[in-house]
Amino acid sequence: MVDWLSDPWQFEFMRRALLAGVFVAIACSVVGAFVVVKGLAFLGDAVAHSSLAGAAVAFVAGGGSLMINVGAIIAAVLTAVGVSALTSGGRLREDTAIALLFAALFAFGVLLISRTRNYALELNSFIVGNILSVGTSDLVLMGGLTVVIVALVVYFYPELLYASYDPEMAAATGIPVGLVQTGLLVLVALASVIAFRLVGVVLVMAMLVAPATSASLLVRRIPGLMATGAILGIVATVAGLYGSYYGGVAAGPAIVMASIAIFVAVFVIAPRGLLASFR
């Protein structure tokens, strides 16, 4: 039994994947708390997908791991800012703006990658993630970004909370609500860039939404939601990596499935969950 539990961790790539998963869980739940309570899931999904365009530009230009991440960050942030710009003044509905940017940048990313020799293989690692590709420099970047995200959310928590809960009152107090909302989108962009190496662009949204949603059924305040979400995300990462190791399946989807399984369990047994409504 002990061997069964410890066996996977003798491998360097498994230990790296675990550390990456911890960063992803923390960053995604801290940002995901706002994504869930503000209903920004579709936006988070779009930001994650469009990061592919930036990653692809860096990749095709022959950039290394660091440049690919930087490219992804730039594309994701541009999408976040672009959605704000397209919807300001009521020019476009938000979901329309998101869909257009999402499609444009994702298609552009796939287009660029389709010019490379190992098209299917390369595309696959972007889309569903590849834990074998998480190198030391990636871990440093992921860790650094996680620290930056947590620091920004802690420091700007009053503004983020007020502008999310009651934008009108926040504006009346003198808080620059538009700027805070764009800032939140940029945080979503940073978190999805951390996550896409591990679970791929397609499944980033699951990491942003699933642990935070499970947590929202268990706790009553946002800080608790963030902490609980991070713990559930880490549990899902560990479970997913075991599943991947022993089941011989891709790690990213295994982590996401574990996350979803936790959500289903919480949804059924939580104090405000499915079972409670039958009592």
Place of tokens 């983020």: 160
Query: In the complex with other proteins, which residue's Cβ is closer, 78 or 210?
Result: 210
Residues 187-216 binding other proteins (CB under 8 A) are 216
Q: Which stretch binds other proteins (CB under 8 A): 124-132, 168-176, 193-201, 258-266?
A: 168-176
Phi, psi dihedral angles at 133 (to 5 degrees): -85, 0
With CA atoms as reference, report the closest residue to 56 among 5, 109, 133. 109
Neighbours of 209 (CB within 10 A): 22
CB of 123 to other proteins, least distance (A): 38
- Contact flag: residue 165 with other proteins (CB under 8 A): yes
Neighbours of 37 (CB within 10 A): 16
Rounded Cα distance between 83 and 105, Å, is 13
CB of 216 to other proteins, least distance (A): 6
Rounded Cα distance between 201 and 262, Å, is 21
Q: Which stretch binds other proteins (CB under 8 A): 41-49, 145-153, 221-229, 240-248?
A: 221-229
Contact indicator for 41, 205 with CB cutoff of 8 Å:
yes
Contact pick of 174, 271, 277, 279 for other proteins (by CB under 8 A): 174
Query: In the complex with other proteins, which residue's Cβ is closer, 115 or 220?
Result: 220
Binding residues for other proteins (CB under 8 A)? 37, 90, 155, 157-159, 161-162, 164-166, 168-176, 216, 219-222, 225
